[in-house]
Structure 1
Amino acid sequence: MEIQLGDVGHIIQLAIAPVFLLTGVGTNLVVLTNRLSRIIDRSRVLEERIRPGDATDPADSAEINVLYQRGHLINVAITLSTACALLVCLVIATLFMGDAFELNIGKFIAVLFVLGMLSLIGSYFFFMREIFIATKTLTMRRLLLRVR
């Protein structure tokens, strides 16, 4: 079995769209990990303030609970984005393997791609939920500052 140059060129053309998708998913992962990093940094500051036996501000305790919730949502979003990236990589590899070995695996490739898209949709859903919580918390802090 010999792979012709034209066949490889055609496979590369088919793989370009998933590669661009992979670039977008990578950028999404950078955004998500940066948000997680900021959440972790803020929670460390609050954990230093909250010492056992010391009088603590109830707002600090409430904020740390919200940060833990946001961190969990971002973690799920990162997991789903990573799953999407892995599935897209499998799509690309399967494209090449299917053509190289003349396998009829179009449906399998389609399933992998759809699973990747569902993972990406889920990632964006959890990311959006985390943003809503962050914005709601910001609004609540603003209202608390007006009251004080």
Structure 2
Amino acid sequence: MTGASISTVAQIIQLSVAPVFLLAGIGGILNVVANRLARVVDRVRSLERDVGQSDLSLRGGDLRRLSVLDRRMRFCHWSIALCVVAALLICLVVVVLFIADLVSINFAIPVSLLFIAAMISLTIGLLLFLAEVTIATRSVRVNEEFISRGRAARDR
């Protein structure tokens, strides 16, 4: 390798640093969503075990909770899938940057399109994550009696 080509590779590596940091961020997001999915799955398994043993008055509530948990699982699944697609597209951006230099072809448009696709995929994945969190917070409410007790104790 000549000095010029080593310098070019160094420049490409510098260009690749930002996408690599983005990959690290996506990895963190995937970790959070996967943990949420695992907790939902554990809760589903617990409810499924108990729903057959509960009396009819409680069974309806358990089935409603299972329905909400099923929606949350689907949102988590799609969020994970889209974030993984975004990560793969970012990896392709880095690969195309190196290939473009090796074959001396201007790949600005493919790199731009890949990056735009990655950002769209990541954005939709994050929106699905937000939807899952929204469903979770709407489905779990603190009993008003506990809130009233807390206010009464605080006001004393």
Alignment TM-score, normalising by the size of structure 2: 0.86
Deviations 1:1-54 (A, max 9, x none): 9771000000001001000000000111111110000000000000001128x6
Superposed structure 1 runs of 4+ greater than 4 Å apart = 143-146
CA shift, 1:55, in A, is 2.4
Matched, 1:35 2:6: no
Query: Following the alignment from structure 1 to structure 2, what is the Cα–Cα distance between the partners of residues 10 and 82?
Result: 27
What residue identity is the alignment partner of 2:85? Answer: A
Match of 2:55 in 1: 55
Query: Following the alignment from structure 2 to structure 1, what is the Cα–Cα distance between the partners of residues 124 and 145?
Result: 33
Match of 1:107 in 2: 109
Match of 1:126 in 2: 128
* 2:143 partner SS: helix
The percentage of counterpart residues that share the same residue type is: 35
C-alpha RMSD of the superposition = 2.1
Matched, 1:66 2:71: no
Query: Following the alignment from structure 1 to structure 2, what is the Cα–Cα distance between the partners of residues 35 and 143?
Result: 26
Q: Give the number of aligned pairs.
A: 144
Moved more, 2-11 or 111-120: 2-11
Unmatched tracts of structure 2, length 5 or more: 148-156
* 1:93 partner SS: helix
Match of 1:80 in 2: 82
* 1:4 partner SS: helix
Q: Which has the larger radius of gyration?
A: 2
Match of 1:17 in 2: 18
Alignment TM-score, normalising by the size of structure 1: 0.90
CA shift, 1:69, in A, is 0.5
Match of 2:46 in 1: 45
Deviations 1:50-82 (A, max 9, x none): 128x62412211111100000000101001000
